[in-house]
């Protein structure tokens, strides 16, 4: 596997664009297009929230029932959630306009929105934006970057990743981008994520690879515990790599899975580290758990705790809060077996042994926790299973951003 | 039922004290005593966290196996959690010292601690504190207030409540106090709560009344989603009211339950409203739910959401965040049936109808949400069940308090 530069336009046959459409934000790009020159197999995973945004309902239909997908139209600023029939009709109109401009079928157009919930989208601006997108689309890295920049809300950095692998002597590329900063929590995030690959693969295996991989990647991150109404992760595979179609599990499938896992992990960590107001990526690794599920529950509990998150912001190695968060994770363990380490900038220190504080040096611990990427490693001494979860610190800026997001 | 002034010394035969013992804090009261002149039936509910502080383990034993209880010794500053055998031994030594000074059996002494996790208690200071407490104890309102002040950590206000009811022609009094500000979440809180009553009642009914009532009161509040290692709520009943002992359910038991419910609700709301950094009490009432459990899950989900909490701080009626939090509560409902109202300072406004925003006036909504006690009322239109949950807003000060709590 070779890590390469670029994002959603890295794979063959994919084009992208990002333009200003003044949906809500002014003087910045706020609409994106991802487009494949040829039809794609599509797979997707969507929010588990009962309150699903209109674009989520639309895309679920397309992924389940359309013969193929060929374009994604994204807007930032308004989420098109809690918008009823009018909101769903807006998705249909968006797809219709894009279909006309791109000369593709209406049911090959996916849509995605992020932003304020409850407001209707201004359809005329969306339609004007689609015309600009179609005119601007290109297969360059710059076009991929413009697309991801245009979908940012409170994100501070565009998030992209790309890799190449060999399958049957052919070079297969996977490029991807995502946005997400608030309302981020396991079970998908507002989080919009788009993966574009030129692999030839059956639709069933494409969906299975995606569904399995999100469990250990995007579903293991949390910024604030709020599962959004709009979470969407879509993968498009257009087959232009020319490999013999992957139709069963085996070496080729595993190579693809490994590459996809790298892409998903990279983007998930970028998303966690760029959580609203965050100053640090906060990773928790649980080892020595009895089962994988148990390891995941424990790791998630620690990264989701407001108190551990505030402690990371304060660079304060507060073992009690970590023990406390482990203790309410729903796992029945013996506290006196637990060892805890913290790690940052390549330095590692044991801060808890057998459930009690070690006599670690506070100044050293503070230095470790001041790193931009901080890990808490918990050894449960119960078995062999392990898992990781990712979050970020809780800061003044998180409160500031969310006390009045709409104004 | 008559609401009266006072707290834990309101009922006959109860004395209290609060003194300076310099456990961790300097120049403030940090140890409390609650004492009954005669033996008491005792009942308690304790944290569900797997990591239980030593005093929790001690008190569970006393409540389960001692014939009676007569005193509670409390300290603030150090939680005596994650302290192993040494921590448990400290509870035993505390009880031993209190027993000697108060001439009561060792196994009638309950202990409770709140503060930093992981540190050992300074036993000599604890013992010196107990001598001061015994000398200072009195049955006055001032002594009750001193006791609750001495158990405060990041609390900004002492929390007390007291009521009187008639049972069999006798006046029965219930007085209570509690502390709690951070690590507060359903399933008990650090939260320490003490209820002192002169009712004569069987131990079984005392425990049942307490266990049932916390489900709708203390277990329905959340400050930050973190269930503490130290949560303790204890009720002592010394029988001095002189009523015929309540030994079965009926009118007398119901009168006591109603009074206890008032006490628990009052203290729970005071605790939520005084959450770390809070500027407002944030109540969510869910009506029209299919079942009570469903109503509770929905109400809790809304008060626990970081995004709704930040929205209350910003006085911003963000319907989308409320809908979003309802949507991930684990209840499978139709979003298009949901109505939402907000209420504050006696004003009420509908902000959502059939799952979509009403055209409410933003300025009016902001005014309502600026009240010191704000309610969000959700009508699910699915049935007759209802529930309330209480929390507080998420503020800069919450982050400030928790970024470096120990220094």
Which residues of A fall within a CB distance of 8 Å from B394? 399, 402
Which residues of B fall within a CB distance of 8 Å from A190? none
**B102 has a pLDDT exceeding 80:** yes
Query: Which of the following is catalytic: B154, B190, B227, B287?
Result: B190
CA angle centred on A114, ends A109 and A116, rounded to 5°:
135
Q: Which of A49, A51, A394 to mutate to test the interface with B (most CBs of B within 10 A)?
A: A51
Measured in angstroms, the CA of A326 and the nearest CA of chain B are apart by: 8
Query: Would the CB atoms of A396 and B398 count as touching at under 8 Å?
Result: no
pLDDT at B342: 96
Is any Cβ of chain A less than 8 angstroms from the Cβ of B400? yes
Tell me the pLDDT tens digit for each residue of B293-342.
999 999 999 988 888 888 898 898 888 889 988 988 889 999 999 999 99
Tell me the pLDDT tens digit for each residue of A26-80.
999 999 999 999 999 999 988 888 888 999 999 999 999 999 999 999 999 999 9
Which residues of A fall within a CB distance of 8 Å from B356? 82-84, 118
Query: Would the CB atoms of A117 and B321 count as touching at under 8 Å?
Result: yes
Average pLDDT (A110-114) is: 94
Minimum CA–CA partner of B301 in chain A: A226
Measured in angstroms, the CA of A130 and the nearest CA of chain B are apart by: 26
Beta bridge partners of A379: A287, A339
B310 closest CB neighbour out of A185, A335, A402: A402
pLDDT at A404: 64
Which element (helix H / strand E) includes A170? Answer: strand A170-180
Query: Would the CB atoms of B51 and A354 count as touching at under 8 Å?
Result: no
Q: Which of B402, B404, B406 to mutate to test the interface with A (most CBs of A within 10 A)?
A: B402
Higher pLDDT, B292 or A187: B292
Q: Which of B278, B324, B393, B405 to mutate to test the interface with A (most CBs of A within 10 A)?
A: B324
Give the predicted TM-score (pTM) of the model: 0.80
**A123 has a pLDDT exceeding 60:** yes
Which residues of B fall within a CB distance of 8 Å from A400? 396
Is any Cβ of chain B less than 8 angstroms from the Cβ of A290? no
Which residues of B fall within a CB distance of 8 Å from A353? none
Average pLDDT (A9-35) is: 96
| Confidence bin at B393 (pLDDT 50/70/90) | confident
Measured in angstroms, the CA of A329 and the nearest CA of chain B are apart by: 8
Residues whose CB is less than 8 angstroms from the CB of residue A377 and which lie 6 or more positions away in sequence, other chains included: A284, A285, A287, A340, A341, A342, A343, A348
Which residues of B fall within a CB distance of 8 Å from A116? 320
Which residues 191-220 of A are in CB contact (within 8 Å) with B?
none
Query: Which of the following is catalytic: A190, A227, A232, A308?
Result: A190
| Confidence bin at A187 (pLDDT 50/70/90) | very low
| Confidence bin at A407 (pLDDT 50/70/90) | very low
Average the pLDDT over each of A148-152, A215-219, B181-185 and give the range with the smallest value: B181-185
Tell me the pLDDT tens digit for each residue of B247-268.
999 999 999 999 999 999 999 8
pLDDT at B188: 35
Residue B190 appears among annotated catalytic residues: yes
Contact by Cβ (8 Å): A201, A170 = no
Is any Cβ of chain B less than 8 angstroms from the Cβ of A337? no
Which residues of B fall within a CB distance of 8 Å from A369? none
Is any Cβ of chain A less than 8 angstroms from the Cβ of B307? yes
Three-state secondary structure of chain B: CEEECCCCCCCCCEEEEEECCCCCCCCCCCEEEEEEEEEEEEEEEECCCCCCCHHHHHHHHHHHHCCCEEEEEEEEEECCCCCHHHHHHHHHHHHHHHHHHHCCCHHHEEEEEEEECCCCCCHHHHHHHHHHHHHHCECCHHHHHHHHHHCCCCCCCCEEEEEEEEECCEEEEEEEEEEECCCCCCCCCCEEEEEEECCCECHHHHHHHHHHHHHHCHHHECCCCCCCCCCEEEEEECCCCCCCCECCCCHHHHHHHHHHHHHHHHHHHHHHHCCCCCCCEEEEEEEEECCHHHHHHHHHHHHHCHHHHHHHHCCCCCHHHHHHHHHCCCCCCCHHHCEEEEEECCEEEEEEECCEECCCCHHHHHHHHCCCEEEEEEECCCCCEEEEEEEECCCHHHHHHHHCCCC
3-class DSSP assignment, residue A8: coil
Which element (helix H / strand E) includes A88? Answer: helix A84-102
pLDDT at A328: 85
A403 closest CB neighbour out of B314, B326, B405: B314
Average pLDDT (A251-262) is: 95
What's the CA gap between A175 and A159, in Å, rounded?
A: 11
pLDDT at A406: 52
């Amino acid at each position: 596997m070779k890590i390469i530069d670029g994002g959603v336009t890295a794979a063959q046959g994919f084009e992208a664009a990002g333009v200003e459409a003044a949906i809500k934000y002014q003087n910045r790009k706020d609409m994106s297009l991802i487009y494949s020159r040829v039809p794609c197999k599509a797979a997707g995973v969507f929010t588990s929230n009962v309150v699903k945004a209109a674009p989520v309902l639309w895309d679920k239909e397309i992924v389940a029932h359309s013969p193929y997908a060929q374009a994604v139209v994204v807007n930032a600023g308004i989420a098109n959630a809690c918008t009823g029939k009018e909101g769903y009709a807006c998705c249909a109109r968006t797809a219709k306009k894009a279909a006309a401009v791109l000369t593709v079928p209406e049911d090959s157009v996916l849509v995605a929105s992020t932003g304020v919930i409850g407001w209707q989208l201004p359809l005329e601006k969306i339609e004007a934006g689609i015309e600009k997108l179609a005119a601007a689309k290109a297969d360059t890295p710059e076009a991929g970057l413009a697309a991801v920049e245009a979908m940012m809300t409170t994100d501070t950095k565009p998030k992209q990743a790309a890799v190449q692998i060999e399958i049957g002597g052919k070079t297969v590329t996977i490029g991807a981008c995502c946005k997400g900063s608030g309302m981020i929590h396991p079970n998908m995030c507002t989080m919009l994520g788009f993966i574009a690959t030129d692999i030839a693969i059956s639709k069933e295996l494409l969906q299975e690879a995606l569904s399995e991989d999100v469990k250990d990647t995007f579903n293991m991150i949390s910024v604030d515990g709020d599962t959004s109404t709009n979470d969407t992760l879509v993968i498009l595979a257009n087959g232009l790599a020319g490999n013999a179609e992957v139709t069963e599990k085996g070496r080729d499938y595993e190579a693809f899975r490994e590459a996809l896992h790298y892409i998903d992990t990279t983007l998930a960590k970028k998303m966690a580290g760029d959580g609203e107001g965050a100053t640090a990526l906060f990773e928790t690794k649980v080892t020595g758990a009895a089962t994988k599920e148990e390891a995941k529950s424990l790791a998630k509990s620690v990264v989701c705790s407001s108190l551990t998150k505030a402690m990371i912001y304060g660079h304060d190695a507060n073992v009690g809060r970590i023990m406390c968060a482990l203790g309410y994770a729903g796992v029945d363990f013996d506290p006196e077996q637990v060892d805890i380490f913290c790690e940052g900038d390549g330095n590692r220190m044991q801060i808890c042994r057998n459930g009690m504080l070690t006599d670690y040096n506070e100044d050293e611990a503070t230095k470790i926790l001041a790193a931009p990427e901080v890990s808490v490693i918990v050894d449960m001494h119960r078995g062999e299973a392990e898992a990781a979860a990712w979050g970020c610190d809780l800061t003044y800026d998180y409160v500031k951003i969310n006390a009045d997001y709409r104004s």
